Structure 1
Amino acid sequence: MKRRDMLVGGLAGASAAAAAVAGGPAPAQAQSTEINWRMTSSYPASLDAVYGAGDTFIKVLGEISDGRMRIQHFAAGEIVGGFQALDAVQNGTVECCDTAPFYYVGKDPSFAFGASVPFGLSTRQQNAWFFQAGGLELLNELFNQHNVVGIPIGNTNAQMAGWFRKEIKSVDDLKGLKMRIGGLAGQVIAKLGAVPQQIPAGDIYPALERGTIDAAEWVGPYDDERLGFAKVAPYYYYPGWWEGASAIFLFINKDRWEALKPLDRAQITAAAHQANTLTIAKYDQVNPGAIRRLVAAGAQLRAFPPEVMEACLKAANEVFAEISAQNPLFKRLHDHMTAFRNEQYLWQQIAEYSYETFMIRARGRG
């Protein structure tokens, strides 16, 4: 069965989802027109999993639209730099982009909720929050203010904490540590004396190699292996408490979105949902082999000490409180997400946690 045949039956539901993104009901007529758009990415094409989310979206969209909707994908730096992707969509340089919303916390810290916040949601929780609990509607209140609409097209799943040139044995070891880190996590570690740096993917390796930075987080084993970090920073830490999940978003220029016919919007939304599902599955499939290879090549796995985790959680809550006091939308998003997360754990500790804990122990016993 062709992918178009599988997806076209779900376009009615996708049309309703598209209406939620747009902020209004979907009109009844179902017409479609040709589009020929450009999509700029925040990622290099060599990272086939994270950049591949955009590729998958484009491929599926072409299939379910019978080729009427064509998008050309450009890697970071080909049109604009990776951290300028959203700007290019806002001002109409390109029609859309694939990116991580937390790259734009300088515009508004509320953008972080579109990707990840420290001690936030898991991948499944995040999808449920986006698509069932109203999280995406709240986020699009923010996105619309910046002349874009946003739809998730992937997720990296829980991430590693990154590569360190020295061991982290206590909170004191974070003092003065220069670390490449994105989103609100930089503000959190700054409270503990570290020095956050915002560096694009392609520049991380040389910065580590030269000692310009002491540590760097990127994604996880599969992507990190491709960037070669183990050669210049041997200690590979976990968990990535700032990215229990990290969504990849499709941002579309708001005027371009509003000019689309209802079927166009439904097809874009359906293709985005398919890309989201396939990207999550890809990361689950490729990361186990990658972590094996990294350890075999000399990477030294380390868990953050409980003292460090507790200090980071305390600092994160302070950051959230400080921003919430100044930013009403951030407070709404944080309160909404936190209540949802707490309710999720009420259930997951009974089912998911108990089952997975048993199975992990059983695996260890052979």
Structure 2
Amino acid sequence: MRILLCSVLILFRFTVRGTALPEDSLEEKFHTWTPEFRYDYTYHHGIRGWLKLHHVPANFAEAGNRCKYEGGELATPLDLEMLEAMKDTLIGETYQSVFIGVHSIFSYGDYYSIKGVPLGRMPLSWTKWGPSFDIDKRCVVFFQNGTITNDYCNKAGHPYICYKRHENETLSICGTIDKDYMYVPDLDTCYKIHARRTTWRDAFMTCSAEGAHLLVINSEKEMKSVVNLAKPFPRDIQIDLFAGFVDLNKAGQWTTIHGVPLEESGFAIWNTGEPNNSGKTEYCGSFQYSTGYNDELCDKKMGFVCEKKKDSLLPATGKPSRILTDQFIIFKKG
């Protein structure tokens, strides 16, 4: 009894499976817990968020889009903590520069972040030779020493850094914070119908950035499941959706994006009269509502379907990298 009177026990029990703890939680404060987002992003406690260095160069718009599709944005050093985290991300890399989320696209010389923060409010300085006076160089690149210069937005390609702020999202059963992915238990697979119209190549990139891939139908059962998922969408979207198969060599040999001949993929039902290669320019595949496959112009803009495995964004073990399960932290007074 005296022990109970002399000791104050504070019991914390956590059962965390990819969920976020309150911002002032002790685990976050003392860096004993890492929230989950996706395996290819690194969490930085100092900025309460994740960073990812993309090694493959892209222009400014492409870089911004991929960051967005991955669930983040182009990283911008708005404060010293972010500046240091971005510099650390580039340690050991041989890149001369990377794109960041700062530009003067709207008005030459007026540099702002993608969120509208003026350059003068950021802890950044130009390189010793200053900004270029070429009026077409309107996007900012960042060096490992923390200095910046301007370069072409579309002509030049640079690596880039994406940032995702920790906002207490939870991973769904689909292993993503994207709530638009729908789980189909019978297939143990997740799907997302994109109503945004775009080209086949951009659709492929979007699915890839989301940790998924363009839809590859492997059975009639899967076909019917996708049809059901598409029913709530406008008829003009669901009637024709890009899917994951192509005539890559333009020789009438259709294969899935996984390199499997379409006839061996488990589902190869074409719409009546298809494929017809109308105009000798239809080399990308689409799925027409309740009827079958169609060949389409790759540059035509249509909706599309992404297909995702539950563990595609998790570490190689298939489980979140750090889980606190049924752990107790006890504080004793005195």
> Same-fold call, TM > 0.5?
no
- Higher helix proportion (structure 1 or 2): 1
Flag the structure with larger Rg: 2
- Higher strand proportion (structure 1 or 2): 2
Q: Name the TM-score, length of structure 1 as normaliser.
A: 0.22
